[in-house]
A and B are shown apart, each in its own frame.
Chain A
């Protein structure tokens, strides 16, 4: 089982859209896939038409069989562990426990035989929940809007994942919400491509089809297969899958 976290310190960079679309494409490839919506806003759950509610709240989830809370999506091989508004208090819950940074990892270990891939839609920020996610993940996919401020947060994240406890965690960055008409976006992308190794070749454009996901409540490929956004996510997933194969 590979655990892929969609994460950025910044909010509003396309984490949720990326988590939903990449998890969908992964499942379409025949992989048993779980998308875990850990963002209290519950946008990933909403996009899959599943209520962002856990019976008993996160306290119950972290004390019981995870499969009691998993919901089957409308798409083959794709399950969702829904968000809950009380997930905003997860830091407090974890902090009161022993092994407080391993709660997410321990919960996922119980479904290691059941799923090939777990995607986590992470909340933004650098919190205890995020530390839990990073400890559980094999790979962090980080969307990056090509702007100066985003570059600062990328540096912070890069520094953060160098922590000895996160050894073996891979950080792959891809550009998100790219507007190729804007000179700044083009320049930042060009500059970073020369400075940073391991940047994903595929990027996600700013696209109205991706925005419509929240209206139609489905992965973009379901309703706009040949759209720019759909093709971009298809290309990005192919690249991620290929890299994962190459890296073992």
Chain B
């Protein structure tokens, strides 16, 4: 892995002009020239970019070269591939593939942006005629040339291991000859600009950019608009079944919307949002079974590994069953997503958010957002404490389930109002809350899994008796895990219910001191 430096020059700069930048310092040897298509691959939510990676592929016919860049370290590696890159394993099991796989997780790679490019390669040589820097000149233009300044030239200097001084000299030569400065990921950023795209548009968390003086109504409207945008942007991925996270993010946006409507009270009149609340509940309900099936299938290898080898064949029947059910559930969801009910929900909701008439505004609508945010966040926090402190060894599972829901609502509130919170406090609180949520989530997952497996085992006629035995083993595993999570609950809750957590909540919205529960 070596350093990379990129420069963007406006217009079409001939390669012969670029060669002149290095005269007197390096000899230049022209390499191949070719036309290619440059594609930037990433997950839908730009996980690679956010983790510091840029994955680009230049294809010529069937042949391609994947460039893997780390924008934080400046390192790069080039990997030849045959055909279009679709999966990380096509990178051939290199260390970089393993690094990227860890970042990508469950998401699929998609071509986020692409442009045709004319590439010229130049080798910069030292006195021994040894290549010390690779220089790649790319002349780009958007296909439809919609933007007047869409034509640009990118000069990329690729350093060779052990020749960093030469790379710095070459970069300085370009900078002084063109009066430009090098930019991190310049080609990616310029490509996105030319295509009129942005990099952060699919982030699931609502990043609200409003001043603290904004009203609660403006804030609420911004949160919900952002969430409905997320829902709509994930629709295509659900329909095309690109990966399971499109449905997951869609459902999270629905859940956050429901939570905002239910918890940030008084901004809208209750009767004005009753229909939306129930319709979003419906949307959450109809998408739930497919998500449950996805979770089973995503963790199937782990489930398989958790039962005795003798029962592995029996699990195949269960796997076939899940896949069959998933096809049916997908059909059902696609019908809903294409249906009138969903579309009128999205359309009406957008209209409502854009211009809620005065008759829909509640008493808190005109208040500045900070006291409203503080009131509702602290109310849910107190509820979490109250519910958690009541739980003992004989409490029913429902008590933990209710606490889990409250924790989720509290987490969403922290995320909705992050820009208003004291820097650092929100992060600490989210981390502490997450640890509690993980425990409650584990317990809930096990409870749901036990019930689902039990129902599946009873309601389906299995060809092999081993399948029922395997399901029984899975139920036992889930029971054991659930018991362990339950036993760990008090420790987790106690490390959340501390004086220091209370202090962080007190100072979360630093304007005024809050009396602690």
Task: List chain A positions with a Cβ less than 8 A from chain B.
Answer: 30, 48-51, 67, 69-72, 74, 79, 113, 217
Give the dominant DSSP class at B's interface.
loop
Q: Which residue of B lies closest to A80 (CB)?
A: B162
Bitwise, B66-86 to A at CB < 8 A (1) or not (0) is: 000000000000000000000
- Is B162 touching A51 in the complex (CB atoms < 8 A)? no
Contacts of A69 in B (CB 8 A): 162
- Give Cα A138 to B95, complex, Å: 23
- Is A74 touching B130 in the complex (CB atoms < 8 A)? yes
Partner of B161, one of A48, A49, A72, A217: A72
Contacts of B160 in A (CB 8 A): 71-72
Q: Which residue of A lies closest to B160 (CB)?
A: A72
- Is B128 touching A51 in the complex (CB atoms < 8 A)? yes
Do A50 and B128 contact each other (CB < 8 Å), given the known contacts A70-B161, A71-B161, A79-B161?
yes
Say yes or no: is B300 at the interface (Cβ < 8 Å to chain A): no
List 6 additional A-B contacts (Cβ < 8 Å) besides A79-B161, A79-B162.
A49-B129, A71-B160, A72-B160, A74-B130, A113-B95, A217-B128
Q: How far is the CB of B158 from chain A (nearest CB, A)?
A: 10
- Is A49 touching B162 in the complex (CB atoms < 8 A)? no
- Give Cα A49 to B123, complex, Å: 14
- Is A70 touching B162 in the complex (CB atoms < 8 A)? yes
Say yes or no: is B182 at the interface (Cβ < 8 Å to chain A): no
- Give Cα A217 to B162, complex, Å: 19
Contacts of B131 in A (CB 8 A): 74
Q: Which residue of B lies closest to A46 (CB)?
A: B128
Q: Which residue of B lies closest to A82 (CB)?
A: B162
- Give Cα A55 to B161, complex, Å: 15
Say yes or no: is B282 at the interface (Cβ < 8 Å to chain A): no
Report, nearest first, the 10 A-B pairs whose CB atoms are least far apart: A71-B162, A49-B130, A72-B161, A72-B160, A49-B128, A74-B131, A70-B162, A70-B161, A72-B162, A49-B129
- Give Cα A72 to B387, complex, Å: 62
Say yes or no: is B2 at the interface (Cβ < 8 Å to chain A): yes
Partner of A72, one of B92, B129, B163: B163
Q: How far is the CB of A89 from chain B (nearest CB, A)?
A: 23
Contacts of A71 in B (CB 8 A): 160-163
- Is A50 touching B161 in the complex (CB atoms < 8 A)? no
Q: How far is the CB of B74 from chain A (nearest CB, A)?
A: 15
Q: Considering the complex, which residues of chain B in the window 1-44 have a beta carbon less than 8 Å from any beta carbon of chain A?
A: 2
Contacts of A70 in B (CB 8 A): 161-162
- Give Cα A164 to B129, complex, Å: 46
A-B contact pairs, 6 of them (CB 8 A): A49-B128, A51-B128, A72-B161, A72-B162, A74-B130, A79-B162
- Give Cα A67 to B130, complex, Å: 19
- Give Cα A21 to B130, complex, Å: 17
Q: Which residue of A lies closest to B92 (CB)?
A: A30
Q: How far is the CB of A74 from chain B (nearest CB, A)?
A: 5
- Is B128 touching A72 in the complex (CB atoms < 8 A)? no
Contacts of B129 in A (CB 8 A): 49, 217
Q: How far is the CB of B368 from chain A (nearest CB, A)?
A: 56
Q: Considering the complex, which residues of chain B in the window 337-365 have a beta carbon less than 8 Å from any beta carbon of chain A?
A: none
Contacts of B95 in A (CB 8 A): 113
Contacts of B130 in A (CB 8 A): 48-50, 74
Q: Considering the complex, which residues of chain B in the window 107-127 have a beta carbon less than 8 Å from any beta carbon of chain A?
A: none
